[in-house]
Amino acid sequence: MTMGNDNLVVVAGAGGFIGGNLISTLRTQGHKRIRGVDIKPLQEWYQHFDDVENLSLDLNLREDCEIASKDAYEVYNLAANMGGMGFIERNKALCMLSVLINTHMLQAALKYGVKRFFYSSSACVYNGDKQKAFEAPSLKEADAYPALAEDGYGWEKLFSERMCRHFHEDFGLYTRVARFHNVYGPWGTWYGGREKAPAAICRKVIEAKVSGKHEIDIWGSGNQTRSFMFIEDCIKGINLIMNSEVLEPINLGSSEAVTINQLVDIVEEIAGIKLRRTYDLSAPKGVNGRNSDNTLIQKYLNWEPNTTLRIGLEKTYRWIYDQYMARERGEAGVIRESAAAR
C-alpha cells in the first residue's frame, strides 16, 4: 500500500520527543498534510512547525480523539504519560490511565475509516523474571508471556497492544505495534524528572563540567545493563514497521547493550572529563538487565537500529549542552522557537 503525500497524517503526542522528531521527518519526506496533537499548550511542545496543523487536545477524551482523527489516512499514536524509571515507579495510576488515549484513538480511527494505525509499545511489557540477571538477556517478542510486565506503565502497554491486535482481528483495522527500547537523542526530555538515563547522564556531566564540581550520582549500582536506540533509528523503524506486513508487536531497539557505568564512561569521554561516582542504591533503577533481541526485525525488515551509542551520544550531548547553556543565559525559549521557523 502506498500513501500519497497529500493524505492526512496524524501524530498524537506531537509535542513530545518522538512525536516531534517524527513530524520533522514526515515533513522532509514531503508530506503536505500533517496534524500534530498534544495535551500541552503549543509553547511547551519540544518542536512545532508552522506548516503543520497543531492542535492542543486531551486525548483521554473520546470526543477529542474524534477531532484529532477526522479525515486522517494514517495515525501514529505516540501520546502517553511517560518518563524514566523515577517517573514510572511513582506514577503507576497515571501511566495506566494512558489506556484511555489508545482506546479512544482506536475507536475514533474506526469511526473515521483510518487506513493505518501505529501504536508505540515498550520493552517494559517484558516479563520481569526474565530480566533479573545483570548480563542483559536479549528479550525476544515471545518473552512478554506469561505476562509479568513492569507494574503500571508496562501493563498498560501490554493491554493496549492486545487492544490493537483485536481491533485488527475483529474490526479489520490496520494496526502496527512496535516495542521501543530506550530511545534517546536531540529534542528529548533532559531535565524535570521525566528524563531517561542517557539524557540525565549527559545533563549531570554537563553540570559537573560547568560547575567545576567533578562528581556524579548514579541511580543503582551502575551495573544494570540496557540498550539505547538513537532517535533517527527509531523514526526509520516506525516508518518501516508502519509500511510492513508485520502483524505482531515487534522489538524496535538497539542490541548494543551497556552497563550504566559504561554509559557514563562514554559521556565522560565525549565531555573530556572524569568524575567521582557515587551510587544511590535507594533510587529507582528498574530491572537488572535488558537488551533487544533483533532476530525478528532482521527477518522481516532486513534491518535493525544500527547507530552506535558513541555516535548517538555525541549528537545528544552536544544538543543538551546547547540547551543547558541557553537556559543558563535565560534563553530557554530560543532553541524551541527556532525549530518552529525551520
| Catalytic annotation, residues | 153
Pairing state of beta strands 34-38 and 116-122? unpaired
Least separation in angstroms between residue 117's CB and ligand NAD is: 13
# chain residues binding ligand NAD, by CB under 6 A: 25
Least separation in angstroms between residue 154's CB and ligand NAD is: 10
Query: Is 213:187 a contact under the CB 8 Å cutoff?
Result: no
Asked if 189 touches ligand NAD (CB under 6 A), the answer is yes
Reduced to 3 states (helix: H, G, I; strand: E, B; else coil), residue 303 is coil
d(CA 230, CA 199): 12
Asked if 309 touches ligand NAD (CB under 6 A), the answer is no
Asked if 17 touches ligand NAD (CB under 6 A), the answer is yes
CB burial of residue 172 (10 Å; 0-12, 13-18, 19+): exposed
d(CA 4, CA 34): 12
Q: Single out the residue of 82, 202, 260, 309 in contact with ligand NAD (rule: CB under 6 A).
A: 82
Characterize 47-86 residue by residue with b for buried, 16 or more Cβ atoms within 10 angstroms of its Cβ, and e for exposed: bbbeebebbbbebbeeebbbebbeebbbbbbbbbbbbbbb
Asked if 23 touches ligand NAD (CB under 6 A), the answer is no
Stretch that binds ligand NAD, among 133-141, 176-184, 237-245, 307-315 (CB under 6 A): 176-184
Asked if 78 touches ligand NAD (CB under 6 A), the answer is yes
Least separation in angstroms between residue 276's CB and ligand NAD is: 28
Sign of CA dihedral 336, 71, 98, 24: negative
Strands (DSSP E) found in 43-161: 53-56, 74-77, 116-122, 138-139
For residue 276, the surrounding DSSP H or E stretch is strand 276-280
Query: Is 229:180 a contact under the CB 8 Å cutoff?
Result: yes
Q: Give whichever of 208 and 251 is closer to ligand NAD, judged by the CB atom.
A: 251
Least separation in angstroms between residue 215's CB and ligand NAD is: 26
Q: Single out the residue of 32, 40, 277, 318 in contact with ligand NAD (rule: CB under 6 A).
A: 40
d(CA 45, CA 61): 20
Asked if 180 touches ligand NAD (CB under 6 A), the answer is yes
Asked if 202 touches ligand NAD (CB under 6 A), the answer is no
Least separation in angstroms between residue 263's CB and ligand NAD is: 14
Stretch that binds ligand NAD, among 52-60, 108-116, 260-268, 310-318 (CB under 6 A): 52-60
Q: Single out the residue of 31, 196, 203, 226 in contact with ligand NAD (rule: CB under 6 A).
A: 196
Measure Cα distances from 115 to 20, 64, 109, 168 in Å.
Answer: 22, 19, 8, 11
User: Which residue has the CB atom at the shortest distance from ligand NAD?
Assistant: 16
Asked if 36 touches ligand NAD (CB under 6 A), the answer is no
Short-list 3, 141, 138, CA closest to 72: 3
Q: Single out the residue of 122, 251, 255, 294 in contact with ligand NAD (rule: CB under 6 A).
A: 122
Stretch that binds ligand NAD, among 10-18, 144-152, 242-250, 309-317 (CB under 6 A): 10-18
Give the x-and-dash track for 134-163 against ligand NAD (CB under 6 A).
Answer: ------------------------------
Asked if 190 touches ligand NAD (CB under 6 A), the answer is no
CA end-to-end distance (rounded Å), the chain: 30
> What residue type is assigned to position 187 of the chain?
W
* Sites of contact with ligand NAD (CB under 6 A): 13, 15-19, 38-40, 58-60, 78-82, 101, 120, 122, 180, 182-183, 189, 196
